Amino acid sequence: MLENAINAGLLFSVYQPIVDTYRGAIIGNESLIRGPEGSALALPAEIFSEADKLGARRDLECYCVRSAVNSYQKSEFAGLLFININPNFLCSENVFLELTALQKNSSTAIVLELSEQHPVENILQLKKATNRLRNLGFRFAIDDLGAGHSSMMLWAEIRPEFIKIDRYFISEIHKNPYKREFVQHIVTLAKNLHATVIAEGIETIQELRQLQKIGIFAMQGFLIGRPALEPLNSELLEALLAEENHLDRYNSLHALVEDTTVVTSSRRISDILDYFQQNNRLVAIPVVDNEQITGIIRRGQFMELMSSNFGRALYANKPVSLVMQTNGLIIDINAPLEQASALLTEHEDTLDQHVLLIQKNGKYCGVIAVPSLLRRITEFRIQNARYANPLTLLPGNVPINQQIDLHITNQQAFFVLYFDLNNFKPYNDIYGYHQGDTVIQWFAQMLHETFTEQNYFVGHVGGDDFIVICDKNFNKQLLDVLKAKFLEEIQGFYRQEHPETNTILARARNGRFQNFPILDYSVGIVEVGPNSIFSHQEVSSLAADLKRKAKANPKGIAQCKTTSAYTPTVRKAMN
């Protein structure tokens, strides 16, 4: 019966969406096999049970993988493709060759879910197999964490990019403090191991909100979307993940946006007068034509015009375009608070304008009251101070991660630069920690002066490690400027004999003395493509790996670009 169903093409793949509830974006879809409705092979459990009876489980799983990939490529589904597979089958050379051929002929980024329902027979062989497949571009997830065999050992050895928590721990988590504590520990561990946690089986909005509070934003379940032949409707996703269902985005403008009265440029001026007279709290009216911002009418200036001797008589029946102003401050809803702060600073008359005009993808979407924005900026700076590095006062890891997540949310390309001082330990050993701290403060100031003029974000990870986050228009010539300035000024932190020889004699980690080069720095650069990465953990892991490669490179620099298929392309050192 199973063989006949396969040969007749009666088994097919459906896909269940996995979404990022922070960004309101689709991460990918999990493939699930289905048979003819109403038949004995309608559901996966029945299909695989039949395969087990026939001893054809491995062949069926290979068929499911082929079906999932081929159907996905021909469809309009977007994002990563998650496919369940028995982990023991990955050790088979035939399965490896099958997967290799699929990956070679596919543009789809595939995540293999290693099911917790199957005990691993040989963890060392599995580790070797996953390393081979990872080199081909495959990613891995542990499925149903907590439901099966030796999950923590599998996590430690395989080091998956994704962890999917079993439905048991998700069900009514908002009512169960023990489940919340357990899941919180998983989130903390995953963050430290650079893995993204996906909550499975979300069925209620209460579960979704509780998981967001814990720090899980990647979710899958019937609440979000059932397995289907068609992609999740974007309007349904937006409705589900409306702003009131999100956690407050501390460093974004979303929570501040308000609706207000809007008019077109052809509207009669007398109508504007009525609006202002009927609502004393209305301080400005945006003028919008075809969803595009064309101007603004400010209460004070408009009422002054209307109160003049002939103002009302002259303008009452004329169009708004005659009196509207076109110098309103406009900013995108996804812009970080610091960008909004810079906009306020650049325009001294901003406080008199009362509101900022907000657009999303070039279309009007609301206003933000300037006093509300100023309060939020103050709160944000207090938060940054709380998480600032005490030595340099630069933002620490929490603000760094928030900035990366915000750039990911914007779904545009951006750059993350990971700087690390070379040979800092021998310098610190010879010159002392106080002088070492002085060098770190100097380097922090140099990074700040070089990059913040372009409104780039500079953060201090800790020790002699720093992060710079730049937008898609990153000016790479700044790296040359920084290097020249560094080499010129670093000489001043040494006694005369050291710059002359370009070396310093210090004790190595093996206890023996050796000559070390004078201080320099390395930088790993991650160019993040749109919709190619889904969390700051992934960016952090890539950046740290590139930093290590940069330190081994004579030119001190290494770079990669993540593609839409979520595959990092490593570049050689830049000249």
Here the tokens at position 422 are 């070379």
- Overall fold of domain 388-571: Alpha-Beta Plaits (3.30.70)
* Helix intervals (H) in 316-396: 337-346, 350-353, 370-386
Amino acid at 259: D
Calpha distance 561→80 (Å, rounded): 17
Place of tokens 């990870």: 461
Amino acid at 306: M
How many residues does this entry show for the chain? 575
Residue 175 backbone phi and psi in degrees, to 5: -105, -5
CATH of the domain spanning 254-376: 3.10.580.10
Calpha distance 299→352 (Å, rounded): 10
pLDDT in tens, the chain (575 residues): 666 666 566 788 899 999 988 767 788 999 998 877 777 776 777 777 777 677 777 788 888 888 889 899 888 888 899 999 888 888 888 888 989 888 888 778 899 999 767 778 889 999 999 999 998 889 999 988 866 556 788 888 999 999 999 899 999 998 888 888 899 889 888 888 888 999 999 998 888 888 887 878 899 999 988 999 888 876 667 666 654 344 345 566 877 888 899 999 999 999 999 999 999 889 999 999 999 999 999 998 899 988 887 878 888 899 999 999 988 899 988 777 877 888 888 776 655 557 899 998 789 999 998 888 888 888 777 777 778 898 998 999 888 988 888 788 767 789 999 999 999 998 988 889 899 999 999 999 999 999 987 778 999 999 999 999 998 889 889 999 999 999 999 988 888 777 666 778 878 777 788 888 889 999 999 999 887 887 788 898 899 999 999 999 989 999 999 875 444 454 444 43
Calpha distance 241→246 (Å, rounded): 7
- Residue 412's pLDDT is 77
Please return the burial class of 506, using the count of CB atoms within 10 Å of its CB with bins 0-12, 13-18 and 19+: middle
Q: How far is CA 518 from CA 107, 424, 483, 548, in A?
A: 46, 9, 14, 18
- With a CB cutoff of 8 Å and minimum separation 6, the contacts of 164 are 113, 141, 142, 143, 144, 145, 197, 198, 199, 200, 220
- Residue 458's pLDDT is 94
Here the tokens at position 91 are 């050790």
CATH of 2-244, one of 3.40.50.300, 3.20.20.70, 3.20.20.450, 3.30.530.20: 3.20.20.450
Collect contacts of 45-50 with beta carbons under 8 A, ≥24 apart.
47/2, 47/11, 50/1, 50/2
* Cβ–Cβ < 8 Å for 217, 20: yes
Residue 108 backbone phi and psi in degrees, to 5: -85, 135
Bridge-based pairing state of the strands 139-145 and 503-507: unpaired
- Residue 267's pLDDT is 94
Amino acid at 339: Q
Calpha distance 134→146 (Å, rounded): 24
Angle at 394 between CA 331 and CA 252, to 5 degrees: 25
**CA neighbours closer than 13 Å in the CB half-sphere of residue 56:** 15
CA-derived radius of gyration, the chain:
29
- Domain ranges within the chain, ordered by starting residue: 2-244, 254-376, 388-571
